[in-house]
Amino acid sequence: DWTMGAFRGEAIAAIRRKVGDGRVLCGLSGGVDSAVAAVLIHEAIGDRLTCVFVDHGLLRLGEAEEVVGLFRDHYNIPLVHAQAQALFLDALAGVSDPEEKRKIIGRLFVSTFEAEAKKIAADGRGAPEFLAQGTLYPDVIESVSFSGGPSVTIKSHHNVGGLPERMNMKLVEPLRELFKDEVRELGRELGLPEAFVRRHPFPGPGLAIRCPGGITPEKLEILRQADAIYLDEIKKAGLYDDIWQAFAVLLPVQTVGVMGDGRTYEFVCALRAVTSVDGMTADFFPFDMAFLGRAATRIINEVKGVNRVVYDVTSKPPGTIEWE
């Protein structure tokens, strides 16, 4: 019979067989999948694994510190923290088309990752010939079904698309047979902190696709603050684990409000929360009104730049989970 403990052992043996005495590069996104893949590979080959965390400046409040802290300090896994915030934000300035944003982010992600890989290859220990990815079974299925059907791409998912071919590296994908809940279980098995294992998925393009319209550092800061308060309220209400993904979206719309005896003209923040099994379909989460009122009041009172909060009651389909 099949247990996670047995899977762990077999996966480690398979990684060792495949990699031999070679080196592996692994891109960390901050999400559960790449983290579990990295910890598993580290267990298999130790410091012949190097992780690269590309910080594109589109992360949530405190997220970079959390990821770097966990890997570098807790697990002692060699980790390069690529500070590419200015590079990404400059390239995204004035861009509002969602697909254009994804393309820019995907292209810069690849070039930043390649540049870091070159530095690592020059460290005297030989160039890594393997690239690790936290690909899951649903990712495999989704790309298969797209290739057989009509050539309609709803959203171009970036991850590290095209990287292995460009860099002439072989892929290591130890999670290819697993569903999300199994990856979480494997993460627990590998001793990842429970809070990390339970984290909601976060898209590669990050806050860029939660900030419809043009992106500015100021808007990102407003979004980070609102998002952190919303998630804090969700955790306080004990609802985090009942939700697949919850996040704030900062709309490129300003509306009129009153504060004290003055008129305000600030941005609208939309709140999103969905339940889902695999992200392919989703239902909006039925918060009670008291919860929504609390979250809205806190965001409006504590975040400068927001004077109105709305809740998104669209399911998928016809909506998507993200707004872009």
Binding residues vs ligand XMP (CB under 6 A)? 102, 155, 157-159, 201, 203-205, 245, 279, 316, 320-322
The conformation of residue 317, written as its DSSP 8-state character, comes to T
31 is in an annotated binding site: yes
Q: Which is nearer to ligand XMP, 50 or 133 (CB)?
A: 133
29 is in an annotated binding site: yes
Q: How far is the CB of 87 from ligand XMP (least distance, A)?
A: 18
In the chain, the DSSP E strands lie at 24-28, 49-55, 79-83, 130-132, 170-172, 245-259, 262-275, 283-284, 306-311
Task: Tell me the pairing of strands 79-83 and 306-311.
Answer: unpaired
Q: Which is nearer to ligand XMP, 27 or 279 (CB)?
A: 279
33 is in an annotated binding site: yes
Question: Measured between alpha carbons, how far is 59 from 155 in angstroms, rounded to an integer?
Answer: 20
Question: Measured between alpha carbons, how far is 279 from 180 in angstroms, rounded to an integer?
Answer: 10
Question: Measured between alpha carbons, how far is 269 from 216 in angstroms, rounded to an integer?
Answer: 15
Cβ pair 129, 184 in contact under 8 A? no
Q: How far is the CB of 199 from ligand XMP (least distance, A)?
A: 12
54 is in an annotated binding site: no
Q: Which is nearer to ligand XMP, 8 or 157 (CB)?
A: 157
Q: How far is the CB of 79 from ligand XMP (least distance, A)?
A: 20
Cβ pair 4, 186 in contact under 8 A? yes
Cβ pair 28, 40 in contact under 8 A? no
Q: How far is the CB of 276 from ligand XMP (least distance, A)?
A: 8
147 is in an annotated binding site: no
Q: Which is nearer to ligand XMP, 31 or 187 (CB)?
A: 31
Q: How far is the CB of 239 from ligand XMP (least distance, A)?
A: 18
Residue 170's beta-bridge partner residues?
A: 130
Q: Which is nearer to ligand XMP, 276 or 307 (CB)?
A: 276
Q: How far is the CB of 159 from ligand XMP (least distance, A)?
A: 5
Count Cβ atoms below 10 Å from residue 77 Cβ, excluding itself: 22
What is the identity of the amino acid at 24? Answer: V
305 is in an annotated binding site: no
Q: How far is the CB of 253 from ligand XMP (least distance, A)?
A: 20
Q: 218 — phi, psi (to 5°)?
A: -65, -45
115 is in an annotated binding site: no
Distance of CA 61 to the CA centre of its chain: 13
List Cα–Cα distances, 65 to 61, 93, 157, 295, in angstroms. Answer: 9, 25, 25, 25
Instruction: List the binding residues.
Output: 29-35
- In the annotated binding site for ATP, the residues are 29-35
